[in-house]
Amino acid sequence: MTKKHEKQPDYLESWKRERAGFLNYKKEEAERIEKSIKFCNEKFLLEILDILDNIYLAEEQLPKELEDDQWVSGIWKIKEQILEFLKSNGVEEIDCLNKEFDPNFHEAVEMVDSDLESNYVIKEINKGYILHGKVIRPSKVKIAK
C-alpha cells in the first residue's frame, strides 16, 4: 500500500470532523439570526409601552362625567389597537395581582401591611411585559409584608 493510500482514512476522518463542525456552526448562526430578528424591535416596543403607561394613567384619572364622552371612547379604541399591535408582535402582559412575588417577573417598590399572605403582590404600579418568553420589563409592584 502506498503512502497516499495509507493517509486516505485520516484525511476522510478529518474532512468529516470539519464538515460536522461547519454544519454545527451553520445551525448556531441560523439560531442567532432568528433570535436577533425576534428581539430586534425590543427598544421600539419598550417606547410604545411607555406611551401605553400614560394611557393607563389617564384612564385611572378620568373624571366620572367624561366616561361616556366620544373623544374618550376614541382614546380607549387607540389603547385597544396598541394592545393588539403589541400582542401581534409577541408582547404579553405579566399577570401579577394576588400572585406570589417573583423577582424574575416583578420589581418590588414597596412593602405594605395587608390582609393577604406575606410576599404576595397587592398592587401593580407599572405593568410588566414579556417578549417571546423573555421579560423585557418587570412589573413594578407593592407586596404584602
pLDDT tens-digit readout, 14-32: 889 999 999 999 999 998 8
Give residue 2's pLDDT: 67
CATH (domain of 138): 2.30.22.10
- Residue 23 and residue 88 in one domain: no
Q: By residue range, what is the domain housing residue 18?
A: 1-39
CA neighbor of 140 nearest in space, from 112, 113, 98, 106? 106
Q: Are residues 11 and 47 in the same domain?
A: no
Question: How many distinct structural domains can be found in the chain?
Answer: 2
pLDDT in tens, the chain (145 residues): 567 677 788 888 888 999 999 999 999 999 888 888 877 888 889 999 999 999 999 988 889 888 888 989 999 999 999 999 999 999 999 999 889 999 999 999 999 888 878 889 999 999 999 998 899 999 999 999 8
- Whether residue 107 is found in the same domain as residue 84: yes
Do 84 and 14 belong together in one domain? no
The single-letter DSSP state of residue 122 is E
Residues whose CB is less than 8 angstroms from the CB of residue 51 and which lie 6 or more positions away in sequence, other chains included: 82
Select from 52, 61, 74, 71 the least CA-distant residue to 127: 52
Same domain, 46 and 85: yes
Q: How far apart, in whole angstroms, are the C-alpha atoms of residue 101 and residue 122? A: 10
Do both 57 and 25 map to the same domain?
Answer: no
- Do 33 and 60 lie in one domain? The reply is no
Residues 20 and 75 occupy one common structural domain: no
Q: Are residues 72 and 130 in the same domain?
A: yes
Are 84 and 26 part of one and the same domain?
Answer: no
